[in-house]
Chain A
Amino acid sequence: MLYVLIILFSAIAQYFGPWWLMPIVCFVLCLWKADAALKAFGVAFFAAATLWLGYASYQHFANEGLIGQKVADIFKIPNVLVLVVITTLIGGIVSGFAGMAGYYCRRALA
């Protein structure tokens, strides 16, 4: 449930606003719903990772897919798959920590 909520709300938030609304969404939702630190991290991580992975892949495959490999080459990244992995990790890690922070704050407020 939390997983779906995070994907849904952070997708809406990022569609209209900056990328950093995603960790904020994770923080708020985990503050509200998460019941363990590790679980909060995990859910937020995977939800954000799914969203970024999914949208990046959609961009790549639905269009010409020209830019991914070119950007990978500029940053000396071996191929576009690694670039997708990096994208997923960046989104996942920051959201994971935000989710965990949400859970701990809830504990502190409880």
Chain B
Amino acid sequence: MKYIRALLSLLVAGGLTYLLNQPLGPAPALGPFFSPFTGFWQNDEAPQKASSSELKLQGLKGEVIVKYDDNGVPHIFAENDADLFFAQGYIIARDRLWQMDFYTRVTSGRLSEVMGPLALDFDRYNRRLQLPEGAAKLAEAFMKDPDSKLVAESYSAGINAYIEQVEYKDLAIEFKILGYRPEAWSPLKTALVEMLMRKDMNARSDDYRMSNTLAVHGEEVVKDLFPDYPIEESPIIPKGTKWTFTPVAVPKVPEMLKASVAARLDIESENPGIGSNNWAVHGSRTSTGLPLLSNDPHLGLSLPSIWYQMQLVSPTVNVYGVCVPGWPGIGIGFNKDIAWGMTNVGSDVFDFYQIKFKDKTQKEYQHDGQWRPVTMKINEFRVKGEAKTVLDTVRYTHHGPVLYSDGQTPFMGDLPVGHALTWIGPVAVGNSLKALYMINRAKNYDDYRAIMPYLASPAFNVVFASNQNDVAITSAGQLPLKWKEQGKFVLDGANPAHDWRDWIPVEQNPYVKNPARGYVSSANQFPADPSYPYYLGWKFAPGERGIRINERLEKMTQATIDSLRLLQNDNFNVEARRVLPDLLKILEKDSSSKVNPAYQILANWNLRNDPEELGPTIFERWVKELRLAIWDDDFPSTDKKAPMMLPTRDRTWALLQKQPDSKWFDDKRTPKKTETAADIVRSTFAAAIDSLIDKHGRINDESWAWGKAKSTDIKHLVPLFKSFSRMDVINGGGANIVNATTEGGHGPSWRMVVQLDKTWPKAFGLYPGGQSGNPGSRLYDNMIDRWAKGELNELVFLKSKEENHPKIISTLKLGK
């Protein structure tokens, strides 16, 4: 008996210990997770304290000093470049390793290994986009140049030094919850992080919707309602700028393909747009006589934050700015002599080709009058919680992969089935690390222009200012040399004239230096007016932000840091200025609309999307419904079989103002009645107010206030981890406002203003988050409140490691 008792109790105790040490389904192993010695309790981080410490690291050549300021920003001083990038990798891994690992899992299509089956479709999509192939090519390019090789390898070594020594108790909480450990870093992983950028900026397309529109309405209508250049626009390169180069021959426009595509679709709402603003004001218009530069890249806001601030110093460089975790160097920033910033160019670099297969086996496809073989590739996925790997066969043509074959459900609604994809992601070859290495060390305009051949994708409007009083902007990157409207519609995969063949010579990308107007600016609008000899796309970001920025810059004569900060936070609604007076005139004639208190609110509105205003809440909702009501009968955008494009807002307002009798105002779905523009304006006004009352209650200053009604959510990268997110941040602005904060959580992901100076620049900046990736740290989201108010922090740009700056709190010495 006593033996049985001993055995049984041993089994229970041992079994329990064993069980608590195993992951249970999706839950982490409870023992290590709950243990206060190792688990999540360890992720509660004490506030930063004044301290100095020392660490020994294998792989360093000399001594590195890291000084942390009160905002958690590391200022790294190294004796050589290899140590500098080693330390950059090590330091960022301490704060953001999980985020870096997550990014590379997304782009390598390996998220389901740690997240389980719910991530599988996303993984499939990312592999089909050839993100891993693109990354491999990029990594190869890094290794061919001695500078970028040194950067990529030293940075990886630094991250790995951290991974090798990190204990479970110090791992990010996400690793603990999801129950996995970080993998070793490599230059390939850095390339995978870059592919995330390419995807975010460039992997979208209207081709399929436009083809459906063309098939139903014909060329005349498409030409009229979907013009290749907006009615109201203020392009990046000032109108009238002369192009000084001799353009290469542009391919001839072949016969247009009237695609008829059959596919099952689940249409998502229009992409909110990933936009950004940047500008530089020449010294002739500033209070100091030297340039000022501003940049606020708009991205999907997330926690941990997209950006991380750093100062990097070695004998070859002293630069401050932000970097993307996993991507070495400084991406947007400044040094003693120059400053630079970026916005997305947003040219059309994502094209679908209709493929004609020979037979049902889909082993051959037609091209140039011949049958060409289809190549098969099998992607393999390991899925957490599933014993077997999942296999996914993808067919490849010379255009690229057939993104989805018959019978498969596309990951997103605007991806047609049975079409091959050519896009910039896997084909562009540049060397971003070399470009960053060079711009971080640039001293003047020539150094700035020298980086252009290395920028490939995404194409960025790179704004520049120097203390030699030069300002410039270049739409830099690899841009395919297309015939006019190539890729506006689905292309014919059998016709060789439809292939991508060449690139616009890089020195002929749109650019301007020191224009007469005294400033350069971009807000993702058209890079140039129609006098530019090459086709870049038919639709860019709506012009309102660019129009407003240029209007205000036009008036600035003694610009200061604060005038630029205020412009970053400008809430003026250019669209309302354009269209609201005409809309109100229509309501005025209608007695029932006129007595509606919402009418009075709009009539008295100052046209600013300020957080306390009620006007924007009503206006934004109304114009959204109005546009849909005008077009949705003729251009059903949510049709599952053949979704179409809605004409742009720019075209819609021109129609309303100049052709109020147009047939398009009639709602085809009400055959007995012929609606006029005025009818639609009135009915959508009433409907918008009704739906707002449904959502926010009767009109009142509280819940109808724009800041409250809109709000901005900054979500954790794993949306399931809601308590790691910051929801309902109150601020003003809007999707097409200079202060581009949206409901969906897009917005200025970093705001920076730099005042160039002959001796030492002054700079301000912050981003909606914090330096730490740890939700248990005060520095996880400490900048969000100041960000929402439109304030900036003065950035601590140290001249040398000897400088005694009052904001420096702690020092960390790294040595071999």
Contacts and interface: CB of A to CB of B under 8 A. Distances in A.
Instruction: State whether these chains interact.
Output: yes
A33 interface: no
B44 A107 contact: no
Interface in A12-41: 14-15, 18-20, 22-23, 27
B5 A87 contact: no
B37 A108 contact: no
B723 A101 contact: no
A23 B30 CA distance: 14
Contacts of A68: 41, 44
B30 A60 contact: no
B10 A67 contact: no
Contact of B775 (A59, A60, A67, A104): A67
Contacts of B30: 90
A20 B776 contact: no
Interface in A59-76: 59-60, 62-74
Interface residues of B, number: 43
A64 B20 contact: no
* Secondary structure type dominating chain A contacts: helix
Contacts of B777: 64, 66
B323 interface: no
Interface string A50-61: 001001101110
A19 B12 CA distance: 17
B309 to A, nearest CB: 21
Given A64-B778, A93-B16, A101 B10 contact: yes
Given A64-B46, A67-B775, A74 B722 contact: yes
A14 B38 CA distance: 8
Contacts of A67: 40-41, 43-44, 173, 775-776
Nearest to A62: B46
A7 to B, nearest CB: 13
A98 to B, nearest CB: 4
A94 B10 CA distance: 11
B17 interface: yes
Contacts of A98: 13, 17
B722 A23 contact: no
Contacts of B775: 66-67, 70
Interface string B11-49: 011101100110000000011101111111111111100
B32 A97 contact: no
Given A59-B36, A94-B20, A107-B6, A101 B12 contact: yes
B229 interface: no
B81 to A, nearest CB: 37
Nearest to A56: B36
Nearest to A103: B9
Contacts of A103: 9
Contact of B13 (A15, A23, A64, A90): A23
B177 interface: yes
Give the interface size class of chain A: 35 or more
B44 A20 contact: no
B45 A64 contact: yes
Interface string B719-738: 01111100000000000000
B3 interface: yes
B2 interface: yes
B31 A104 contact: no
Nearest to A26: B13
Nearest to A67: B776
A66 B31 contact: no
Nearest to B8: A104
Given A70-B775, A98-B13, A104 B36 contact: no
Contact of A107 (B5, B31, B722, B776): B5
Contacts of A42: none
Given A19-B38, A90-B30, A108-B3, A66 B9 contact: no
A14 B36 CA distance: 10
A56 B41 CA distance: 6
27 contacts: A18-B38, A19-B21, A19-B37, A23-B13, A52-B35, A59-B36, A59-B41, A63-B47, A65-B44, A66-B777, A67-B40, A70-B723, A70-B724, A71-B40, A71-B177, A73-B723, A74-B177, A74-B722, A74-B723, A90-B30, A94-B16, A94-B17, A101-B10, A104-B5, A104-B9, A105-B9, A105-B10
Interface of B: 2-3, 5-6, 8-10, 12-14, 16-17, 20-21, 30-32, 34-47, 173, 177, 720-724, 775-778, 780
Given A66-B778, A67-B43, 8 more contacts: A15-B37, A18-B32, A55-B36, A64-B776, A70-B776, A71-B173, A104-B10, A108-B5
6 closest A-B pairs by beta carbon, nearest first, are: A67-B776, A73-B723, A108-B6, A19-B35, A101-B9, A56-B36
